[in-house]
Amino acid sequence: MIQHASIDDSTLFERITRHDAEAFGIVMRRYAGALYAFAFRIVGDTLAAEDIVQEVFINLWEKRRKLSPGPSLRNFLYLAVRNLSLNHLRMQKNHLAQTNAYLFEQKAGLWVIEEERYRLLSEAIKQLPPRTATVIGYSCDGLSQEEIARKMGITVATVKLLKSHGIQKLKKILGPLSFLLVMMK
């Protein structure tokens, strides 16, 4: 076993290029903690920071013959962590933008459906007798039967009867689209 502290980075890197797993292990032990802290400061996520450091070391080992760290292995590793961290943030930003665009499209689609539901229901309500249409309209607005009775100057029993008859007529008018009445019950 070699004294780890006495081996300089350039020697370690040269040994790594010759498939020396022990030298690779020394580099990992020497830099993993500091690289993790550096990645975490950039991305602010423990799992992402761990993944980034792991990916840097995997790339170092897999591409060891093709890489040249320049004058400093340390700078090479920090630069690799910085680049992967920034890539991670860009991907996160793009993912968030795509998610927001998708949610906007979904909400816009629901708004169109709700507008169409409202239009169809309004057209059907116009075909009802006036008092029945008024009761159904107030009911759609969220008024209670007691509030409707007070507002129209009729009994609660009459409101119930008009509402029941109105819903039955709307079911006939709307046919297969009668599921739109769910909002009124």
Global pTM? 0.52
> Which architecture characterizes domain 6-99 according to CATH?
Orthogonal Bundle (1.10)
Please state, in angstroms and rounded to a whole number, the distance separating the CA atoms of residues 87 and 96: 14
Of 106 and 168, more confident: 168
CATH 1.10.10.10 positions along the chain are: 107-184
Express each pLDDT in 14-56 by its tens digit. 888 888 899 999 999 999 999 999 999 999 999 999 999 999 9
Residue range 107-184 forms a domain whose CATH class is: mainly alpha
